[in-house]
Structure 1
């Protein structure tokens, strides 16, 4: 008995694009329930949309039930293809707007966590200038880990990213943005909180519990953390702060991020002249991008904010 050939998708319609966008959100949110808020539609409507998409593609895209949400092998491939398709559509729209010299379209940005407290606000100031020039520009920001930002920029899902400089990738362009200083901190109930720096023995620091980052760092920064008694880890700087504030751990935090707790008197730096490091942040874009008026305008505004910041404070110029 011959096997019936699989149905083929002959044309991608507006309905298909709508269903693919719902599918993309469900995958990014990790399930139907979490996607309700993102999409602002009911879980039942999401379930119907997913069922319709599976029928139109003649593929089983995901498993859902008591065991949770997961993509099938076909679902993984369709998700990757959907990301490329939706990114291509946005590129087309942006290109057409560029032909008309019209500042419309989307700017999709990925940013590493906890940079909003940087005093110079280059990202925010450049976004404000972009919105001033193009009121109809839609700005989408995703707070995700650096490795995911790199992947999304390379895939065309994001127009640009803001990441720490760890290892340069050949497919990316790098534009220096920030120098971020970090120091070693402890909380108010820590045994060293009231000890003067001159009375702290650097070698004795190893006897106290410390929280270290579970995310990627340069070899030089890793070496500083390896000198500590690592008894806890955190996947981001907010997690590090949580443990420092228990008074049971010491750990490194960016000075701009920790300043609020210094002002409240619940945190202090330890040996700030010896225990510190600097992280360099860059804006990244994909090499060989087709001209994009929205992205080009934003990058130009970043350059202008750099010039104004450097005029007022030479430390930022690195």
Structure 2
């Protein structure tokens, strides 16, 4: 797949970064950076989804000169020697997030300068994108008890909406039974994070309650401690991985051969790694679904485009950004999202009316 785009000519004249910030339904203020590379009358855009807001403002105050003539592949090689972090990242994985912002902007620009789209370059069509709504049940910083209220509110807008949920140890049997009445496709255990604001407790009782309570749902990123691993005996096909997936080598290092993976391009960093990882999973018959990271701009369109081209019918966590707003609009788009009628670059405008 990468060979189909690696040699695209790329002219970069200017580089601009713009920071945006807004509140989310998960109780935190999200900032991200839109990277705009311009040249030969076209502009390509990407989004850096690093989670520390200060890092975005420090990048905005930092000059990045990328002017030159490249191929997409030589531009990627050039980035190895460019300082994209005026201040060191809080977590090393954020280096991939920023790298993907610049690489996706370059891919978008190269495709536009060639007068084509990612779908045409890969020989694929943009199909309608099935998505799930990913939501927490309560603000983790508040004292309110978790409830199904947010799910009920979303279902009142779209009766057939499906969900990706983040269980927490305070979910009791009564709440799980109530939640199981909804169409829950994925439960994200967040068992591999070190950040205590995100990570969940590796308690076998909690895991058993969730795994048994949602018998049809994929279980993402479990912490397979000695006490938890037996819970998945015979159910390995329900396990999905997200945080560890940074490329082909990371897949081969998993504790067992996966059936499902959450594909987040920012975790892979480069266009080459993203496309090689997708191609590897297709060869090995590993199912993928797209994953979101509270993108505020074009990054959301990009993960929708990859889902549209490569795994359109999966439970993609790529709902339009309006699903992350604290106050829900009655005009939320329904699943599946319509593909753009006349895509250029990576592809934007999913779900827009014709």
Category of TM-score, reference length = shorter chain: under 0.3
TM-score (structure 2 length as normaliser): 0.24
TM-score (structure 1 length as normaliser): 0.26
Larger Rg: 1
Higher helix share: 1
